[in-house]
């Protein structure tokens, strides 16, 4: 008989209480509850477009590819005013309780920051959609300005300062992850004693190496995800539930224990 969510959440709460350094790792599954689509799920962006057409190399080389990418990003939900959901808020609460070392995220939607986790506690492995960068002069633009241009009908965006190529400050296919962020995330994963995966199927590398680093260094692993992952058997607690429901219950159980 499967254990109930409150029992599993209670076990996670006990692990948090007993840990010195808690790292939370988040993927697309945490943000779908805020209305942001998972690109790889049925009905997602990559069922309608070929990801091979959206590489960094093609973006730089081909104006038509750049036009397509901007239009896809405009229509993807990533440049809307999405708001944090209960899962993001629960992780922010973990920070406020002094129980969070950092968040390592694959997401580029800024929702952890909106929920109240300080930017210096968030390691964005795949960059961010909150700004665009000129590949020629390095000028950065907030995405609110970019969205205004896209909504105004522009399809091929250039730098306002030098007319160079503008690129979202998110990692594209074929583009290396930001080296400093990857190094810091690997260090945090290696030095934590509790690693909590929320909303990731752990199929995208090198991000998916992070829980492996934690396990190999002796940390305990918790996985909260609707679909199976290749590390499920390594988890000391495995919760098959929506991120918001599970993380809210974890915080409720944690608060209850801390207030006894």
**Known catalytic residues?**
126
Please choose, from the candidates 33, 76, 31, the residue with its C-alpha nearest in 3D space to the C-alpha of residue 54: 76
Cα(214)–Cα(15) distance, rounded to whole angstroms? 15
Question: Distances in Å between the alpha carbon of 211 and those of 148, 164, 189, 224, 235?
Answer: 38, 39, 7, 13, 10
Cα(90)–Cα(119) distance, rounded to whole angstroms? 16
Cα(92)–Cα(115) distance, rounded to whole angstroms? 6
Q: Is residue 21 within 8 Å of 190, Cβ to Cβ?
A: no
CA-based max dimension of the chain: 64
Cα(48)–Cα(68) distance, rounded to whole angstroms? 12
SS3 of 128, please?
strand
Residue with tokens 């909260």: 224
């Amino acid at each position: 008989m499967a254990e109930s969510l409150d029992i599993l959440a209670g076990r996670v709460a006990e692990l948090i209480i007993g840990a010195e350094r808690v790292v939370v790792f988040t993927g697309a599954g945490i943000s779908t509850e805020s209305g942001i689509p998972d690109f790889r799920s049925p009905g997602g962006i990559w069922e309608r477009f070929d990801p091979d057409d959206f590489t960094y190399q093609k973006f730089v080389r081909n104006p038509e590819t750049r036009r397509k990418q901007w239009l896809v990003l405009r229509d993807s939900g990533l440049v809307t005013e999405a708001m944090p959901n209960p899962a993001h808020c629960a992780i922010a609460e973990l920070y406020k309780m002094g129980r969070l070392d950092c968040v390592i995220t694959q997401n580029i939607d800024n929702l952890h920051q909106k929920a109240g986790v300080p930017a210096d506690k968030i390691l964005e492995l795949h960059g961010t959609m909150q700004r665009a960068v000129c590949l020629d002069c390095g000028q950065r633009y907030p995405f609110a300005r970019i969205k205004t241009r896209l909504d105004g009908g522009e399809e091929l965006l250039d730098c306002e300062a030098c007319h160079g190529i503008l690129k979202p400050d998110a990692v594209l296919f074929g583009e290396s992850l930001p080296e400093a962020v990857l190094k810091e995330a690997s260090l945090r994963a290696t030095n934590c004693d509790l690693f909590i995966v929320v909303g990731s199927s752990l199929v995208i590398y090198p991000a998916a190496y992070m829980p492996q680093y934690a396990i190999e260094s002796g940390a305990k692993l918790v996985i909260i995800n609707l679909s199976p992952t290749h590390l499920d058997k390594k988890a000391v607690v495995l919760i098959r539930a929506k991120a918001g429901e599970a993380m809210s219950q974890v915080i409720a159980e944690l608060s209850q224990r801390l207030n006894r």
